[in-house]
Homo-oligomer: A and B are copies of this chain.
Amino acid sequence: MKLVQIYECLCDETRLRLLNLLLQGPLCVCHFQTILGEPQVKISKHLGYLKTRGLVMARREGNWIVYALPEKRPHELSANLACLQDCAGDQAVFRRDLARLRQLDLSCSPLNAAGTPVAHGRRCC
């Protein structure tokens, strides 16, 4: 993976916010919408941008598309994600996003943890 391509993905604030959230675990699109407070197109397109370039992976889960960081990451990527996580803690936007993430009902997400089966078809966001 070329270094520049990683930075091209990181050079937009919306994408930084998405990645910062994904560092906590997989999330579906509607959660990003709720947390960022940005319109659906915007979120969807930036996720698409990241997906095309291999920074995130997507899988369908019922009605929802769950995004996650790739499990196997080349060194350049993990190094930069670690750096992002380190630095994001200092800046208000990212801290606020993480705070909102914690308050979220993640019922439609695989993040609802410990094996609880995902409730397909339930209304989500």
Could you tell me which residues of chain A, from 1 to 44, have a CB within 8 Å of some CB in chain B?
2-4, 7-8, 10-13, 16
**Which residue in B7, B75, B86, B94 is a CB contact (below 8 Å) of A79?**
B86
Complex CA gap A10/B13 in Å reads: 14
- Judged by DSSP, the binding face of A is helix
Could you say how many copies of this chain the assembly holds?
Answer: 2
For chain A, the bracket of interface size reads: 20 to 34
Instruction: Please list 5 pairs of residues, one from A and one from B, whose beta carbons are closer than 8 Å in the complex, sorted by A's number.
Output: A3-B16, A4-B10, A4-B16, A82-B83, A83-B83
Q: B-contacting residues of A (Cβ < 8 Å)?
A: 2-4, 7-8, 10-13, 16, 75-76, 79-80, 82-84, 86-88, 90-91, 94
